Structure 1
Amino acid sequence: MDSGTCLCRHNSRPRSLVHQIKVHAVTQSSPSQILSCVEKAPKYACISLVPTADDSDSASSSQQAGSNCLRDVHISARLMEDFLELAKQNTDKDLETCGVLGAFLESGTYYVTTLIIPKQESTSNSCEAKREEEYFTIQNERSLSPVGWIHTHPSQSCFMSSIDLHTHYSYQAMIPEAFAIVMAPTDTSRSYGIFRLSNPGGMSVVGQCPEMGFHTHEEPEDGSPIYEHCSNVYTNSNLRFEIFDLR
């Protein structure tokens, strides 16, 4: 794919519904650049179960245990599939790929509408985004909130490494609903997961941790896992989205 190519995917969502969507300005600063590294999966690695948004069911996932203070987030499953396809060349070479997710807030719900794949340096167990000003510009021009990031584990299992946790902390400290997607195509037990730091347990541990590189973390004092699956994230087949591949 040529640098700067923009892909737009959409389905048969009624035009009237699309026109009712309003994009709100973002006033937050941007999180730190993406740095993902893979180490051995810890014992607390857990599967991410993603509910499916149903037009006939307007109940909010905010009523679920563990996410009663979080807004719902909608994301297209096709976006994740397309990211994996764009990452395939790297995956076949056992190289990680990472991307940034942008969303707008409408009526108390975040809608992920933009995936940006920045210039990056990758190895089999790490991926570091470069030229972050390029994807910040795209998000700012579209008034999008940086609600999360996505990356592959080409030959590893589906979990969050210690460096992943530190990368994600800057997102979640700014936006409580922020999440991290791990795509692990070779993991036969779970090919992807959608995770967040537990709050306050995981956020406190990672926020106070001065370590860099691969390291272990203390267990949260409240007995919770340091990170957990997101119960407030829904796949929504009615979402249009665009992809910017800046590599």
Structure 2
Amino acid sequence: MASTPDMAGDRPLSVKELTDLALQYNFVPQLPLNRWYRAAEVVYREATHYLRDGNTPQAFMMFQRYCDLVIYKLRTHPEINLPESRPLYKALSKRVPAIIELMESMRVEIDEYYSRWEAQMRAQHRSQPSIKSTIRVVDPALSWSHASPGSILDARSNKDLAIEMANRERLRRRNATKTAPSWSPRLVSEDELQRRNMEAVRSQLDQSYRTPDSNDRLQSTNYSYPSIKQSAPLSYESRPHPPSPPAPAPRPLPPRPPKQLAEQRRPPSVEPPPRPRKELDRGDFITARSQSPVPPPKEALEPAPEPKRRYTFKPERYLENGDPIRSIFLPDSLRGRFLRIAEPNTRRGLEMCGLLCGANINNALFITHLVIPDQDCTENTCDTRNEADIWEFCDKEELIQIGWIHTHPTQTCFLSSRDMHTQASYQAMLSESIAIVCAPRYEPSWGVFRLTNPPGLPEMLKCRKTDPFHPHDVPGDQLYVNALQPAGHVIEAELNLDVCDLRGKT
């Protein structure tokens, strides 16, 4: 059921509150730098998704977090000065100036939303300060823009609507890919990729999120004047006139009517017609002299469309520390398709992994792609290679990495110590990230997991051991939990799934 936001309890967040929330994340320099590159990509992509959905406050917060991570945190990483690290960091930092410029426009809108809410509170003569909703303080995704209110939905109860939204977004991306000019992602420059991404975000902001009274203030000062081609002089050519056709033979005149009838039609007097009015209507005169009729008003033919209804899915569950986590919609065909791809490795007793990628739509995560990366596989581990191919593909398809899936061909369904360390790198910046384990020879044959927070995630981030199986200070049954419904935030659904195999692409 949809609920309308309450003006007092569900207030919008201020710029300062959003900024403070953006800085609330744990940066662990001991985590490999390539994992933080992936985390930065996830934050940037989520910001663009929220902006596309019209959620300006959450987009502002995510852009703020991206800038802080790239400008301040990554510069302190011990691997930042390695030769192989410089190109990747340069690609991330090139986005920052355009993001900061975009955030200035978003800041004006957020301040306007907040001021409007304050004015409405004063109009209602509320003597006490408004009560801050707990959800709003920790979840700016539900900090409503009161210029375009919407409905907060429960994802589990509105699964059909969620799938419909995902299919529409999927169709939009496919159409955009068909109409976009083809280029090789390896040949296009980072500058060009950055220009395309930020231009799309800026266009979305200009078209959807400006209120009528702030249009004049937010319009860009850059204006591209149209180019006019110089007109060529007219040329006249003397052409011989074609010979006139011979005149037709004269036709006989009709008989003259009777004289009495003609006299009946003769006017009674030969006085001149009455003089027209002196005050001739100028509009009638202009209309009469015009060569073409005046078109009817445009509104009569094209009525203004009704404002688009906004929806946002509320958090599905909450972490152990109280932070909200969003719903994840998992295609029910994913596990079977992955096991068929991994079958050759499973027969040889080797693990195999895949990446779960998708999109954030209206504050819910949808897994739409299974990506098989280049990887080194052993009996107990599987490590990805050529991660530049993964980032390239996700950037082209506008995807974020939501989690991963891997097989245990000779073991039961659980997260090993090495698996938990890998999962920590996903959850460090995306709390909803999941790990799927497939153990075809045992029961249960599969499971969907996430680290607890706390104590699981902090324990993994501080651990420096690298063996596939090693003990931790926290008991194993407290390090991770089942993430599948009904206890967790993962919902299986009949979603379409694309599979992209990147093995052997380089």
Quick check: TM above 0.5?
A: yes
Q: More strand by proportion, 1 or 2?
A: 1
**Secondary structure in 2 aligned to 1:168?**
helix
Q: Measure how far apart 1:175 and its partner are.
A: 0.3
What residue is the counterpart of 2:109 in the other structure? none
- Counterparts of 2:158 and 2:340 in 1: how far apart (Å)? 23
Cα deviation, 1:94-131, whole Å, max 9, x if unaligned, reads 11110111110011100001111111111222211111
The Cα shift of 1:55 comes to 2.9
Does the alignment pair 1:227 with 2:483?
Answer: no
Partners of 1:98 and 1:151 within 8 A in 2: yes
Contact 1:71-1:110 at 8 Å conserved across structures: yes
Question: Runs (4+) of structure 1 moved beyond 4 Å?
Answer: 22-29, 51-54, 56-61, 63-68
Distance 1:152 1:23 in 2: 35
Any conservation in 2 of the 1:90–1:97 contact (CA below 8 Å)? yes
Larger Rg: 2
Conserved? CA contact 2:452–2:478, under 8 Å: yes
Query: What is the TM-score normalised by the length of structure 2?
Result: 0.37
Q: Which amino acid in the other structure matches residue 381 of structure 2?
A: S
Is 1:112 equivalent to 2:217 in the alignment? no
Conserved 8 A contact 2:327-2:365: yes
RMSD: 3.0
Question: 1:206 aligned to 2:475?
Answer: no
Structure 2 counterpart of 1:38: none
Letter in 2 for 1:125: N
Name the structure 2 match of 1:246.
502
Q: Deviations over 1:165-224 (max 9, x none)?
A: 11110100010000100011011x21111111101210111111121123111117xx97
Shift in Å, 1:23: 8.4
Q: Name the structure 2 match of 1:164.
A: 419
Name the counterpart of 1:77: 332
C-alpha separation in 1, matches of 2:158 and 2:414? 24
Aligned residues: 201
Percent of matched pairs sharing the same residue: 35
In structure 1, runs of 5+ residues without a counterpart are 1-21, 30-50
What secondary structure sits across from 1:124 in the alignment? coil
Which has more helix, going by share of residues? 2
- Are 2:343 and 1:88 equivalent residues in the alignment? yes
User: Which residue among 192, 201, 222 is the counterpart of 2:446?
Assistant: 192
Q: Report the 3-state secondary structure (helix = DSSP H, G, I; strand = E; otherwise coil) of the residue aligned with 1:115.
A: strand
The CA distance in 2 between the partners of 1:183 and 1:132, in whole Å, is: 23
AA aligned opposite 1:234: I
Deviations 1:7-41 (A, max 9, x none): xxxxxxxxxxxxxxx78999769xxxxxxxxxxxx
Structure 2 distance, partners of 1:102, 1:172, is: 14
Alpha-carbon distance in structure 2 between the residues aligned to 1:57 and 1:119: 32
Looking at structure 2, the residues matched to 153 and 145 of structure 1 have their Cα atoms a distance apart, in angstroms, of 25
Counterpart CA distance in 2 for 1:125 and 1:134 is: 24
CA distance in 2 between counterparts of 1:128 and 1:75 reads: 23
Cα separation, 2, equivalents of 1:191 and 1:96: 15
Partner of 2:470: 215
Q: Which amino acid aligns with 2:496?
A: R
> SS in structure 2 opposite 1:55?
helix
Query: Residues 120 and 53 from structure 1, CA distance in 2 versus in 1: closer, same or farther, beyond 3 angstroms?
Result: farther
Deviations 1:213-240 (A, max 9, x none): 23111117xx971111110001110x22
What is the CA–CA distance in structure 2 between the aligned matches of 1:205 and 1:211, rounded to whole Å? 11
Assess if the C-alpha contact under 8 Å between 2:370 and 2:500 holds in 1: yes
Could you say which structure has the greater relative contact order, defined with CA pairs below 8 angstroms and 6 or more residues apart? 1
Amino acid at match of 2:492: T
Contact 2:351 2:380 in 1 (8 A): yes
**Residue in 2 that maps onto 1:121:** 376
| Residue 236 of structure 1: aligned partner | 493
Rounded to whole Å, the distance in 1 between the matches of 2:352 and 2:499 is 14
* Alpha-carbon distance in 1 for matches of 2:330, 2:474: 31
The question of whether the paired residues in 1 share the 8 Å contact of 2:318 and 2:325 is answered with no
Q: Provide closer, same or farther for how the CA distance between residues 132 and 52 of structure 1 changes in structure 2, counting only shifts above 3 A.
A: farther
Q: Counterparts of 1:163 and 1:65 in 2: how far apart (Å)? A: 22
SS at match of 1:204: helix
Partner of 2:316: 62
Which one-letter code corresponds to 1:134 in the other structure? D
